[in-house]
Chains A and B, each alone.
Chain A
Amino acid sequence: MPRRFVFTVIAWICFTGVCLGQTLTFPALTGRVVDEAGLLSPADRAALTVSLAALEATTTDQLVVVTLKSLQGRTIEDYGYQLGRHWKIGQKDKDSGVLLIVAVSERKVRIEVGYGLEGTLTDAETKLIIENLILPRFKIGDFAGGIKAGTAAIIQALGGAASGTVPGPPQAQGRGGPDTNAPVWPGIVLGLAGVGLLVFCSLTPGGGVCRLILQILFLMALSGRSGSSREKPPFSGGGGSFGGGGSSGSW
């Protein structure tokens, strides 16, 4: 009995350890502007979304504006890169993502720069954008103004069009082309297994069972092909990663 009790206690401790270790939760990526803290009006949100989509259409860089209610006890530097990695902002092979993060209750703002853009948008540049354009407006309570000015400056630094120009269709752009994330390996393995089975079947007498297996595999492959064409969400991260580039400020 005591041994069982000890085991239960250990299991319980391990389980709570796992739970405690992963308390960091992230808001859903609902669009290019994720306004969890509710700092922006619907009109601001729409205007920002249009200019952010235009940026991706011209440079393929993904910039996402996010306002948070809480950093869940982490520093904004710690939270920021993990959020970027979680959302996979930026193109997969270029890591070309940027996040503008505003944490209201901690009074912190950060520009998180993906690996691939660290040369284009240097730490010093992001610091200047935060200090000169964002913080002065945040200090007088003009959150929407600060976010808009900061976003425009980041877009300019990334070489996107100025925020006034009208872009093409915002959602249709930049989403074309085949989905490179489609699983290729299972298909290859299945194909190899099929060929192997074919050889095996042709060399063994009485191939009734073999043929049956082959038929089942063929059917499975067909159903898998048709099932994989799903609807895409309006906006998603391109697979980019972050390594702590950028800078932060406080107001």
Chain B
Amino acid sequence: MKRFLLLRLAGLVGVLVVMTAVVFVLRQLLPADPARAAVGPNAPESVVAAKRVELGLDQPLYLQFGRYLDHLFLHGDLGQSSRTSRPVGGDIIGALPASLELVVAAVLVAIVIGLVLALGELLLPWAKPIRWILLAGASAPIFLTGLLGLLLLWFKWHLLPGGGRSGLADAPTGPTGFLTVDSLLAGRPLLAWDAVQHLALPALTLGLPMGVAVGRALWSSLLGTMRQDYVRTARSKGLTEGQVVRRHALRNSAAAPLSMAGLQIGLILANLLIVERIFAWPGIGLYTVQSLGTDDLTAVLGVALVTGAAYIVINALVDLAQAVADPRVSL
């Protein structure tokens, strides 16, 4: 087990370094000159040259990469955004809680959708058409579900708010950064309810593709498990189909949907850009879209690095979770 953990950890660090290297190479491709950007457009050439030496831009590339890693890991330095004129790292930290709240809500939604679809299709005789829902859900572009939701639930039927995190101006800002949790902690349930309503549609939109994918994986995994001998034994001792699934099959079928969920986190992080854009959700997705729109590539690469690292770490954790949940997963 210890050897397994160490190997995985080494692999994790390796992948993170590779991804950092990709981002570093991309930074080299950018047309903008960091030295020129630092001293301003009107500074004489000699000042730019001095700044270039100061920033280490005259050194060989591998030394620059070392310097980049050093700044990144020891100081969390992701460069400066040309759009907001602030450090990208600070911008991301500021926008992160909103996105985190949305992603957590979306994953919860996805788990519920996945379980309902898979178990419904398996157990309910009248629910066979669910396969068409799965197929349709796997075919819908994220902005179609988002826009249809807005059009119907907000504009036509006035059931849910149309965008943003809250309709109220005096929302609390701490301590967790999750508006729903903070409002409850501040003792203001109405505000929390408002936050939940704002959260509902974006979370549903973001969670739906993951829910469908997890549902597909869980269903096909369950089909295999239900043919096992121990399931036949469980049935023959008189358990109902629901009990068989709950007590015997579900946990044994968890590996594939769990990995699918891990892989889908990557899709959620990419879809986050579109969902936050459509719902004006003030998180890192909206920040990235606005940076893309103004060619602020330092910011785009900063977000890609942070979210990419999160994706890699999450998948390593999913991997561990599988090993813990199912002792048969080979270490």
Is this pair of chains taken from one and the same complex? no
Contact residues of A with B, CB < 8 Å? none
